[in-house]
């Protein structure tokens, strides 16, 4: 297959993801294969993220984002000619080239991109020169510092899972600017478009489901995954830190598993973009809700796959994302009854999900309004709530 960016453009247009003529021109003119030379063209010109670097444990630490996700983030930014843009996380450099093509259509448009990884920064810089976008400034540094010499920025785009807002970004963003970032909200991510409100907090009411590699360096999140015993099951999210995994291992090993049926099956798309975020942010009293993951092609405690888990002091209930409406119960019915009530509560609220989510970064310790879930960070608290 020849390297033809128009094939990707047509694919994105047919799917309804690419409607802006300015963005369409950028995807047609910027050749993705120049930034991913180690991959065959038939792998490059499709609508998929491509992992570009793994750590020593085999986990992805950098990737070229899915093109349709790039478009959605450009739309969240309101990316337009003449803007001064800061990107945190250069990766392959492809995203920076697309943005440079767009902003350079008017005077003053420029892109600065910061990459913590020396190898990735140098490779991206070479690729940008090959592709004809040498005007993009590649800065090798921890992205949490931003880049003050070119501030203030109309737009800041973060392309790695964000734990907390950097104070440097807040200072370097114009008062009417927009910061778009994939925010780690407990066990899931949401791409938010943050603007200053009247109190100086950064608020996003326009959020999209997403999945990005985590930030590295100062802005890296704490460990969000923990193994249960010596099994192949992992619990994911902030709430897993409240759990005694040795006790859970005993419960799942010693008590017989019971399979029950929920009131309704949850469609797979709704499961991850709607039900799972709602369940995580609305845990019942005296219960802990996390995500769970069992390694592919294996079983743990008679289960497999991924889903949502709810734990009480003496019981556990696992809801897989298999659309069958099943639930696996251990240690009594308490956890299952809570899950059933949570599904009913979500349904009565109109099945809200990430697109109905509101996010607000406020100074740490700020009193939250009623009905707001508080996620403590380093310099801020993250307030999260759903619009019914």
Helix, strand, or coil (residue 47)? coil
Q: Dihedral of CA 275/278/281/285: which sign? A: negative
Q: Which of 15, 57, 62, 230 is catalytic?
A: 62
Distance CA 200, CA 204 (A): 13
Helices (H), the chain: 5-14, 21-29, 41-44, 67-77, 94-103, 118-131, 167-172, 245-254, 268-270, 276-281, 334-348
- Reply yes or no on whether 62 is catalytic: yes
Distance CA 362, CA 382 (A): 7
What phi, psi does 185 have (nearest 5°)? -105, 90
Distance CA 193, CA 106 (A): 23
CA atoms within 13 A of residue 308's CA, in its CB half-sphere: 35
Residue 129, preceding peptide bond in cis (omega within 30° of 0): no
Distance CA 101, CA 348 (A): 46
CB 372 within 8 A of CB 385: yes
Let me know if 165 is exposed, middle or buried by CB neighbors in 10 A (0-12, 13-18, 19+). buried
Length of the chain in terms of residues written: 388
What phi, psi does 67 have (nearest 5°)? -55, -40
Active site residues: 62
């Amino acid at each position: 297959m020849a390297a033809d960016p128009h094939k990707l453009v047509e694919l994105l247009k047919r799917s309804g993801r690419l409607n802006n003529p300015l963005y369409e021109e950028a995807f047609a003119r910027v050749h993705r294969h120049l930034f991913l030379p180690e991959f065959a063209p038939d792998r490059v010109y499709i609508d998929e993220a491509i992992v570009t670097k793994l750590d020593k444990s085999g986990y992805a630490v950098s990737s070229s984002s899915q093109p349709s996700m790039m478009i959605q983030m450009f739309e969240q930014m309101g990316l337009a000619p003449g803007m001064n843009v800061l990107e945190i996380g250069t990766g392959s450099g492809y995203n920076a080239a697309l943005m440079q093509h767009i902003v350079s259509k008017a005077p003053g448009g420029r892109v600065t991109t910061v990459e913590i990884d020396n190898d990735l920064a140098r490779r991206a810089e070479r690729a940008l020169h090959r592709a004809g976008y040498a005007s993009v400034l590649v800065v090798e540094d921890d992205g949490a510092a931003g880049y003050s010499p070119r501030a203030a920025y109309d737009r800041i785009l973060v392309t790695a899972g964000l734990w907390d807002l950097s104070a440097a970004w807040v200072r370097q963003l114009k008062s009417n600017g927009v910061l778009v970032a994939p925010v780690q909200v407990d066990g899931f991510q949401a791409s938010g478009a943050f603007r200053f409100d009247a109190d100086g907090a950064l608020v996003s009411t326009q959020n999209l489901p997403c999945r990005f590699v985590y930030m590295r360096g100062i802005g890296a999140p704490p460990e969000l995954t923990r193994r249960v015993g010596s099994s192949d099951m992992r619990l994911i999210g902030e709430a897993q830190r409240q759990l005694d995994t040795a006790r859970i291992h005993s419960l799942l090993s010693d008590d017989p598993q019971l399979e029950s049926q929920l009131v309704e099956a949850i469609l797979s798309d709704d499961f991850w973009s709607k039900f799972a975020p709602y369940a995580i942010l609305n845990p019942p009293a005296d219960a802990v809700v996390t995500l769970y993951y069992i390694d592919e092609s294996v079983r743990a405690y008679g289960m497999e796959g991924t889903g949502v888990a709810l734990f009480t002091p003496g019981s556990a209930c696992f809801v897989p994302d298999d659309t069958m409406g099943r639930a696996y119960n251990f240690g009594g019915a308490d956890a299952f009854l809570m899950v059933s009530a949570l599904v009913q509560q979500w349904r009565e609220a109109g099945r809200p999900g990430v697109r109905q989510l509101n996010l607000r970064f406020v100074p740490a310790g700020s009193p939250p309004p009623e009905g707001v879930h508080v996620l403590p960070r380093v310099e801020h608290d993250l307030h999260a709530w759903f619009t019914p």
